[in-house]
Amino acid sequence: MRFGEFDVDAASGVLTRAGSRVKLQDLPFRLLVALLRRPGDVVTREELRAELWGAETFVDAEAGLNTAIGKLREALGDNAETPRLIQTLPKRGYRFIGTLVQVQPRSGDATAEQAARRPASLEPSRRAVFGLLALTFIVMALTGYRAYSTPGRVTLAVVRFHNETGDAAFDRLAGTLTDAVVVALAQDPEYAVIGNSPLLRTDRIFQDVRRIGDALNADFVVLGQLQKGDAGLLVRAHFIRPTDDKHFWANKIDIEGAPDTEARVTAMVTGGVAVGLKRAAEPGAGR
């Protein structure tokens, strides 16, 4: 897909401008593709939430979506006040208002651009193509895989934090902390983060780590526990390589009464993942 100087390769997760790659994180890229699939149409915030995070997550989608649209506009050089490409419909959603050009292979030659058409005048055949793309993305979202992983990225599977306090009142906190960690890790372009697979969202036991790695083709698994300790409420986190169940990092913090619980937990985990990856890359760490 092409608009202006930009080319979008949805299969590889690459955005280029005049032939040069534009650095864009996974979440804003997926947002861009979601808008490009329906050029000229308003894509509601609710639809984008389901597309980007899945219907069963507890992530703060409002803040996440605002951040993603900001990063997307920055990458495209667009402005919310005088948009050329992404229009905001207050309290409703967003709309791609640029001119989308389809690029198709020419027989026996490279590629040729079709005549540019305004989004509202898409032909039925093109609507069918976009419909097929939409179905592909829905399937990928349901399985929890990241559609835009690129070579060299580390695939992290984040398991839903396990509430081991014995108090169901903490179930929501466990879910909130999980989603905060997923969002924080997904901001790093070096990671391909899987957080919405049903396998990761069900009650788990530690023996599931290898099965998670095999099923999701994950390089590492992030596990979290919510527990009651002598000093109050604790969060434990683990960074594990599923091929051999080897721990490369683990830590715990006391969150009892802390006003900045999410920030403290995400800082601990993101820092721990960086430490764990460094240790896993050291000679003798095995594979």
What CATH code is carried by the domain that includes residue 100? 1.10.10.10
Q: Which of 143, 162, 193 is the last residue of a domain?
A: 143
171 and 55 share one domain: no
Contacts of 4 (CB under 8 A, 6+ apart): 85, 98, 99
For residue 140, count other CB atoms closer than 10 A to its CB: 14
State how many domains the chain has. Answer: 2
161 and 77 share one domain: no
177 and 265 share one domain: yes
176 and 265 share one domain: yes
The answer to the question of residue 119 being in a domain is yes
Residue 110 is classified by DSSP as S
119 and 239 share one domain: no
The answer to the question of residue 287 being in a domain is no
118 and 168 share one domain: no
pLDDT of residue 103: 61
The answer to the question of residue 149 being in a domain is no
- Residue by residue, pLDDT tens for the chain (287 residues) are 899 899 998 888 899 999 899 988 888 898 999 999 998 899 998 888 888 776 544 455 667 788 888 889 999 999 888 999 999 998 899 999 988 886 654 444 444 444 344 444 444 444 554 555 555 444 444 444 333 344 468 999 999 899 898 888 888 888 889 999 999 999 888 899 988 777 777 665 545 788 888 888 889 999 999 998 877 899 999 999 999 989 999 999 988 777 788 899 999 999 999 999 999 999 888 76
Identify the domain containing residue 77 by its residue range.
Answer: 2-143
pTM of the model: 0.49
135 and 187 share one domain: no
Instruction: Output the domain CATH number for residue 214.
Output: 3.40.50.10070
11 and 135 share one domain: yes
How far out from the chain centre does Cα 271 lie? 19
Per the CB < 8 A criterion, the answer to whether 186 and 251 are in contact is no
Q: Which of 98, 116, 143 is the last residue of a domain?
A: 143
The answer to the question of residue 93 being in a domain is yes
pLDDT of residue 67: 82
Distance from C-alpha of 72 to C-alpha of 245, rounded to nearest angstrom? 37
Q: Which of 143, 162, 188 is the last residue of a domain?
A: 143
The answer to the question of residue 13 being in a domain is yes
The answer to the question of residue 285 being in a domain is no
88 and 21 share one domain: yes
Distance from C-alpha of 215 to C-alpha of 262, rounded to nearest angstrom? 29
Query: Tokens standing for 40?
Result: 């000229």
The answer to the question of residue 48 being in a domain is yes
88 and 172 share one domain: no
The answer to the question of residue 31 being in a domain is yes
